[in-house]
């Protein structure tokens, strides 16, 4: 019966031809069996407790880091690790080994020590080395050529053949002179051989010739091979075809710095060229125009016709721009249909203006994309070094701001940066950010006002328009004419419109409960909101939630809502009209004032803009316009409201013309809901 297992195990460990060592968690050797001691050159009587040895005593820096960073963390997680590792004996001889490391844990599972078990791996014998060399010779991607001491070729490898085009049989016995091009003179070769004789080797770039006579550049290393007596036995030449490597470098350069779609430079190229270009400008005291070019309409094209069409538009824009730029210019596509042009110049303003004007002109040309013909709306912002900035980022920022300012004006255009552009941009950004916060967290800043509309024939209250008001503690009261266009540049306008409609519903519900008799109340919806796919379902859902019948409301939209997607707008307006809501065309007399819209749209009312009315008393043409619109509206059986009546004379003229309804400060300014309630109780 086995009684003393630990001592039996100890005997086995002592006898095994394996390196077995247990180490503490601070990596001090606790035990090392006789085989291990022998292997590492440690005396049999070396007392590990008195003269401690550590794991690091047996490893070079790299291996020790490998143990610390990989092996022990792995053991801590999985309780073992195994793999190949070299360690060093006390004389610093390398011992290749296969090592297995185990962890020992206490009852609580904490690691208390590690045991390493290693068997040494035999070093490569001459036969194996021979085999490996042959394999290496056959598989190397470098060309290899072995010559005798007279430089007569003895052996070449397959890569030699694939690089030079010469089969082994064609070159063996000849000298490498058959590979020479006429590129280098005799001096070059003399020096090369002198270096080989003096240093044992030469390496460098050399032009050689292939069998098909093409001349190419090689990286070549020629070494002297000595026999065991130290005498020259062979020369060994190893070479690479640099043209292949360089064309790969070229491809990588192309991939990294150029845009695949347009072949223009990309952001990386801009980043690397911009500092150089600025340095040249400083040196030559020339100006640098930094143009931020926005091709225009890419997102619409992507949405309506698909990404392939969008790509075609970008390619077309890139081609058009490229025609106008010179070899010294840098033109890159940095994002979507946004391009940056760097143009160095010493020319005056009128000439640079001409160049940018041309850029705008080519981009404005109609773009044929498949069956569609598009009229692009490009915008260009220009910043100039040194006036608008000395650093790359400042100039790019200024050019971008100038482009935004050009964009805000709507139609295609260009804009040169100036301080006002920067200040405007920052104010708009501030308004956008504060309005967002007001809509989300601080609704108390926002209020709904109401402006009465009157029936001109008898002065009675005909309706009211709900208008938003915003008082921001730091910026003060901001006019909707300022913040609505800013909100319209993003989806903020959708949040704003929805806030207004919800507030309006709440207000109407409150007035209904007070049993006030309510005229039709109108509200404004932005073009950007109308195109939202869920617009009608959201609006009708909101009214239903507050039990407001759609017939209690009139929705005011401007022509811009109809321009981009007429069919879609018509169907939405028709659906609302079918539900009983009235539809008014706002601000008529500004913009296009297309008569087609009057004909095609399911409208109830036309609102003449106050800009038409403002000089009604002094300008006979204004009177004519109002008369004509009035006639048109009556023929098309549409209601007519004239906005912006500010005085008795204007009012009188409209009464005499027989216009239906009017709205303006002359009757009442927009007022808070409480005051409007008083009007509704009949005191207007
Ligand atoms: P709008 O829809 O044409 O609204 C009429 C604007 O004319 C209002 O300006 C009103 O205060 C102003 N107004 C009325 N009578 C007179 C007058 O006799 N003289 C003068 N000088 N102005 C008069 P407000 O409230 O500043 O709104 C400007 C524009 O902002 C509105 O033009 C509308 O397009 C937009 N807006 C206002 N509230 C909202 C809203 O809740 N939602 C949306 N989407 N847009 C709104
Ligand atoms: Mg309106
Ligand atoms: Mg209006």
Instruction: Spot the catalytic one: 472, 554, 559, 643.
Output: 643
643 C-alpha vs ligand 3 centroid, how far in Å?
7
Contact 398, 389 (CB under 8 A): yes
**Contact, 290 vs 381, CB < 8 A?**
no
Short-list 152, 153, 151, 155, CA closest to 137:
155
587 in ligand 1 pocket by Cβ < 6 Å?
A: yes
Catalytic site residue 495? Answer: no
> Counting ligands in written order, which one lies closest to the CA of residue 588?
3
CA 648 / ligand 2 centre spacing (Å): 22
User: Which atom of ligand 1 is least distant from the CA of 479?
Assistant: 26
Contact 313, 295 (CB under 8 A): yes
DSSP classification of residue 180:
B
Q: Can you read off the two tokens belonging to residue 172?
A: 């063996």
Cα 586 to middle of ligand 2, angstroms: 6
Residue tagged 């110049």 (tokens): 345
Query: From the CA of 536, how far away is ligand 3's center (Å)?
Result: 22
155 neighbors 56 (Cβ within 8 angstroms): no
Measured distance CA(617)–CA(652) in Å, rounded: 10
Measured by CA distance, the residue closest to atom 37 of ligand 1 is 467
Q: How many degrees, rounded to 5, is the angle at CA 189 between CA 184 and CA 194?
A: 155
DSSP E strand stretches across 140-229: 143-147, 153-156, 201-209, 215-226
Rounded alpha-carbon distances, angstroms, from residue 587 to 319, 483, 584? 40, 18, 10
Rg (CA), the chain: 43
Rounded to whole angstroms, how far apart are CA atoms 414 and 568? 32
* C-alpha–C-alpha distance, residues 158 and 170, integer Å: 13
586 lines ligand 1 (CB under 6 A): yes
Q: List, for residues 480-509, the tens digit of each pLDDT value.
A: 999 999 999 889 999 999 999 999 999 999
DSSP structure string for 559-572: THHHHS-HHHHHHH
DSSP string, 468-501: EEEEETTTEEE-HHHHHHHHTTSTHHHHHHHHHH
Q: What is the 8-class DSSP label of residue 456?
A: T
Lookup: tokens for 362: 């080519």
- Collapsed DSSP state (helix, strand, coil) of residue 345: strand
| C-alpha span between 531 and 121 (Å, rounded) | 75
Q: How far is the CA of 378 from the centre of ligand 3 (A)?
A: 29
Cα–Cα dist 426/432, whole Å: 10
- 64: number of Cβ within 10 Å: 17
Q: Which of 435, 453, 466, 467 to mutate to test the pocket of ligand 1 (most atoms within 8 A of CB)?
A: 467
**Nearest CA-CA partner of 561 in 517, 591, 539, 520:** 591
Strands 461-472 and 476-478: antiparallel
What is the structure's pLDDT at 123?
66
What is the enclosing helix (H) or strand (E) of 11? helix 5-15
- Average pLDDT, 10 consecutive residues per value, the chain (684 residues): 73 89 94 92 91 91 90 91 85 85 92 92 76 91 94 95 95 93 91 94 94 92 89 94 87 87 93 94 95 90 87 94 92 95 90 90 90 89 93 94 85 84 86 94 90 95 97 94 91 96 97 93 94 95 97 93 78 96 93 80 94 91 93 94 96 95 97 94 61
What pLDDT is recorded for position 330? Answer: 96
Which domains, from first to last, does the chain contain? Answer: 5-120 (3.30.450.20), 126-246 (3.30.450.20), 256-417 (3.30.70.270), 431-679 (3.20.20.450)
Which of 348-368 are b and which e, b meaning 16 or more Cβ less than 10 Å from the residue's Cβ?
Answer: eeeebeebbeebbebbbeebe
DSSP run (H or E) holding 129: helix 126-139
Q: Return the ∠ at Cα 143 (arms to 140 and 144), rounded to 5°.
A: 85
Q: Which two tokens stand for residue 262?
A: 């347009």
Identify the pLDDT of residue 3.
60
Mutational pocket test of ligand 1: of 496, 500, 524, the residue with most ligand atoms within 8 Å of the beta carbon: 524
- C-alpha–C-alpha distance, residues 19 and 120, integer Å: 8
Among positive and negative, which fits the CA dihedral 258, 264, 267, 273? Answer: positive
Q: Quick check: CB of 673 below 6 Å from ligand 1?
A: no
> Is the CB of 642 inside a 6 Å radius of any atom of ligand 1?
no
Whether the CB of 484 sits within 6 Å of ligand 1: yes
Q: Of the ligands numbered here, which is closest to the C-alpha atom of 607?
A: 3
Burial class of 524 by CB neighbour count within 10 A (0 to 12, 13 to 18, 19+)? buried
Q: Closest Cα to atom 17, ligand 1: which residue?
A: 644
* CB 559 less than 6 A from any atom of ligand 1: no
Distances (CA, A) of 639 to 455, 520, 549, 553, 597: 11, 13, 21, 15, 15
CA gap 262, 193 in Å, rounded: 50
The confidence score (pLDDT) of residue 684 equals: 44
Question: Is the shortest distance between the CB of 644 and ligand 1 below 6 Å?
Answer: yes
Query: Residue 51 is encoded by which pair of tokens?
Result: 């003269």
Q: Is 147 exposed, middle or buried (CB count within 10 Å of its CB: 0-12, 13-18, 19+)?
A: buried
Tell whether ligand 1 has an atom less than 6 A from the beta carbon of residue 477. Answer: no
Task: Tell me the torsion sign for CA atoms 197, 199, 201, 206.
Answer: negative
585 CA from centroid of ligand 3 (Å) = 9
Residues 605 and 581: beta-carbon distance below 8 Å: no
Q: Which atom of ligand 1 is nearest to the CA of 556?
A: 2
**Secondary structure (3-state) at 250:** helix
Max Cα–Cα distance, the chain, nearest Å: 129
Instruction: Please tell me the distance from the alpha carbon of residue 6 to that of residue 13, in angstroms, as a whole number.
Output: 10
Give the CA angle between residues 172, 173, 178 to the nearest 5°: 80
């Amino acid at each position: 019966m086995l009684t003393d297992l630990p001592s039996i195990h100890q005997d086995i460990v002592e006898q095994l031809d394996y390196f077995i060592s247990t180490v503490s968690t601070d990596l001090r050797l606790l035990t090392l069996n006789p085989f291990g001691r022998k292997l590492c050159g440690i005396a049999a009587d070396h007392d590990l407790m008195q003269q401690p040895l550590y794991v690091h005593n047996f490893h070079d820096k790299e291996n020790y880091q490998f143990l610390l960073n990989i092996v022990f963390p792995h053991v801590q997680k999985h309780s073992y690790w195994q793999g190949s590792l070299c360690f060093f004996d006390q004389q610093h001889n390398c011992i290749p080994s296969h090592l297995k490391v185990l962890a020992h844990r206490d009852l609580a599972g904490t690691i208390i020590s590690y045991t390493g078990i290693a068997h040494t791996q035999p070093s490569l014998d001459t036969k194996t080395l021979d085999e490996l060399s042959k394999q290496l010779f056959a598989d190397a991607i470098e060309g290899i050529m072995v010559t005798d001491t007279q430089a007569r070729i003895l052996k070449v490898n397959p890569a030699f053949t694939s690089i030079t085009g010469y089969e082994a049989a064609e070159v063996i016995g000849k000298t490498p002179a058959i590979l020479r091009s006429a590129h280098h003179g005799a001096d070059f070769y003399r020096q090369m051989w002198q270096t080989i004789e003096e240093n044992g080797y030469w390496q460098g770039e050399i032009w050689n010739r292939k069998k098909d006579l093409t001349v190419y550049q090689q990286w070549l290393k020629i070494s002297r091979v000595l026999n065991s007596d130290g005498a020259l036995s062979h020369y060994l030449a190893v070479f690479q075809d640099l043209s292949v490597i360089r064309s790969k470098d070229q491809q990588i350069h192309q991939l990294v710095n150029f845009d695949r779609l347009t072949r223009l430079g990309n952001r990386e190229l801009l980043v690397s060229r911009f500092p150089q270009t600025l340095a040249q400008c400083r040196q030559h005291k020339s100006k640098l125009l930094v143009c931020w070019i926005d091709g225009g309409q890419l997102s619409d094209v992507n949405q309506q016709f698909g990404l392939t069409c969008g790509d075609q538009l970008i390619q077309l824009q890139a081609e058009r721009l490229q025609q106008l730029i010179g070899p010294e210019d840098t033109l890159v596509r940095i994002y979507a249909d946004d391009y940056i042009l760097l143009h160095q110049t010493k020319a005056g303003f009128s000439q640079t203006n001409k160049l940018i004007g041309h850029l705008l002109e080519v981009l404005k040309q109609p773009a044929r994309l498949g069956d569609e013909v598009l009229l692009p709306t490009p915008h260009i912002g220009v910043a100039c070094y040194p006036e608008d900035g000395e650093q790359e980022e400042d100039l790019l920022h200024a050019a971008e701001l100038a482009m935004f300012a050009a964009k805000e004006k709507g139609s295609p255009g260009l804009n040169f940066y100036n301080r006002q552009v920067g200040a405007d941009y920052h104010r708009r950004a501030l308004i956008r950010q504060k309005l967002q916060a007001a809509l989300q967290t601080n609704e108390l800043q926002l209020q709904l006002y109401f402006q009465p509309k009157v029936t001109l024939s008898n002065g009675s209250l005909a309706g009211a328009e709900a208008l938003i008001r915003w008082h921001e503690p730091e910026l003060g009261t901001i006019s909707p004419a300022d913040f609505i266009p800013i909100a319209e540049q993003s989806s903020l306008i959708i949040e704003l419109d929805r806030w207004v409609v919800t507030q309006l519903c709440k207000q109407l519900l409150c007035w209904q409960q007070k049993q006030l008799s309510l005229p039709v109340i109108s509200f404004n919806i932005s073009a950007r909101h109308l195109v939202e796919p869920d617009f009608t379902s959201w609006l009708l859902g909101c009214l239903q939630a507050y039990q407001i019948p759609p017939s209690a409301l009139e929705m005011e939209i401007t022509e811009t809502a109809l321009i981009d997607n007429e069919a879609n707008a018509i169907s939405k307006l028709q659906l609302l009209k079918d539900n009983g809501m009235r539809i008014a065309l706002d601000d008529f007399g500004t913009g296009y004032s297309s008569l087609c819209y009057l004909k095609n749209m399911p409208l109830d009312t036309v609102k003449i803009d106050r800009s038409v009315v403002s000089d009604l008393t002094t300008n006979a043409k204004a009177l004519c316009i109002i008369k004509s619109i009035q006639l048109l509206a009556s023929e098309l059986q549409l209601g007519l409201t004239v906005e912006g009546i500010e005085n008795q004379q204007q009012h009188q003229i409209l009464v005499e013309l027989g216009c239906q309804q009017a709205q303006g400060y002359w009757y009442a300014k927009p007022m808070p809901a409480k005051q409007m309630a008083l009007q509704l109780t009949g005191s207007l």
